[in-house]
Structure 1
């Protein structure tokens, strides 16, 4: 996935003081923060789906206790796709008259 040129800037920068606002640590990017927020919800969704699948298997008498693996690369890509969409929406709002 290509990283957009506008990553939203720092999400939690640390500032030296208010009289001379010199950034001393940029922290994570806003894109990474948005992706992390999306990630939490996507994992919750994945767990809900896994539970539904487990209930279905139990109903059919399948007593194998295999864990259903997360599709981690898909979830990570989806998180950043949502973050990119949020940044784009944020940019459009800032550009509006």
Structure 2
């Protein structure tokens, strides 16, 4: 049994016109939410890593994980699950 991640669907879907059959879903809404959250999280976690003498690679990994956790919470709130 696998747990499926709620991606929220396409963030910026592009549907073809009558002249084209082009469909491009682009990034998911989950990716978009995580990308929007990442700069703030990265800034804060990087500052903490400097104060605590932690490797910046570890701060980046922690910020990336936190961004997706926040994105998942935003999707849950959007769906009324919270």
Post-superposition CA distance 1:21-63 (Å, at most 9, x none): x761000000011111111111121344356x39xxxxxxxxx
Q: TM-score, normalised by structure 2?
A: 0.71
| Alignment of 1:85 onto 2:73 | yes
**Structure 1: segments with no counterpart, 5+ residues:** 55-66
**Structure 2: segments with no counterpart, 5+ residues:** none
Structure with greater strand share of residues: 1
Gap change, CA 1:50 and 1:77, over 3 Å in 2: closer
For the residues of structure 2 that align with 1:33 and 1:87, how far apart are their CA atoms? 11
RMSD over equivalenced CA pairs, Å: 2.6
CA contact (8 A) 1:35 1:79 kept: yes
Partner of 2:78, secondary structure, is helix
Larger-Rg structure:
1
1:69 is aligned to 55
Q: TM-score, normalised by structure 1?
A: 0.62
